[in-house]
Amino acid sequence: MISIFGICAACLVGIGLYGIIVDPHPLRKLLAFNILGGGIFLFFGAVARRGAAAGMAADPVPQALIITGIVVAFSATALGIMIFLKFLEQSGKASLREEEPQEGADS
């Protein structure tokens, strides 16, 4: 059962990294960052559960780190959305990709 959580966590981290690297749209990058964070939180939880399942006393530190990470990720997401809205207001475009001049426009 623990390995299923580990595999799901690895998939989420992979999907998040792919989205951050490939997609130029800032909101999609922010969503990919949140998916990546969710995978890391799931991995942390699976590792903490594995120690408790081995007969050791339950350690509250990983749970506290996960809860703190969720709060920090939420505030970072809010900050990222605010920065994106300011960027959209200043530049008038929603993508980080440079626009290429069209060849047929000059003639």
Q: What is the pLDDT of residues 47-62, one digit of tens each?
A: 877 666 666 666 778 8
User: What structural domains and CATH numbers belong to the chain?
Assistant: 2-92 (1.10.287.3510)
CB 32 within 8 A of CB 22: no
Based on its alpha-carbon atoms, the radius of gyration of the chain, rounded to whole angstroms, reads 20
Section 96-103 average pLDDT? 66
pTM of the model: 0.74
Residue 77 to residues 8, 16, 20, 42, 103: CA-CA distances in angstroms?
22, 14, 14, 18, 39
Phi, psi of 59 (to 5 degrees): -100, 120
